[in-house]
């Protein structure tokens, strides 16, 4: 499954909508994605599973790239 992770670049940064970034990660569950990202210095705001038409839409974005972890 593919998950879209909304995050701040610094683990200790207060979440601000204008600074929120996204990354796509493949994993079995939200817990698996959090485990894969635990060594990255990011503040995870929200993890969303994407599939079907939503995944097709996201793949059309030129910045769509799934992280290999």
Residue boundaries of the structural domains of the chain: 2-67
Helix (H, G, I), strand (E, B) or coil at 48: strand
Using alpha carbons, list the distances in angstroms from residue 18 to 8, 14, 21, 40, 69: 10, 11, 9, 21, 26
Mean pLDDT of 10-36: 92
Strands, E assignment, the chain: 2-8, 21-26, 43-50, 66-67
Instruction: Give the pLDDT confidence score for residue 42 in this predicted structure.
Output: 93
Mean pLDDT of 26-55: 95
Mean pLDDT for all residues in the chain: 93
Query: What's the topology of domain 2-67?
Result: Ubiquitin-like (UB roll) (3.10.20)
CA atoms within 13 A on the CB side of 50: 21
pLDDT exceeds cutoff 90 at 63:
no
pLDDT exceeds cutoff 90 at 3:
yes
pLDDT exceeds cutoff 90 at 46:
yes
Q: Rounded to two decimals, what is the model's pTM?
A: 0.88
């Amino acid at each position: 499954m593919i998950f879209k992770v909304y995050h701040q670049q610094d683990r200790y940064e207060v979440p601000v909508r204008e600074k929120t970034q996204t990354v796509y990660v493949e994993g079995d569950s939200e817990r698996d994605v959090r485990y894969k990202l635990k060594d990255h210095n990011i503040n995870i705001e929200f993890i969303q599973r994407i599939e079907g038409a939503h995944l097709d839409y996201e793949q059309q974005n030129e910045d769509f790239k799934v992280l290999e972890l």
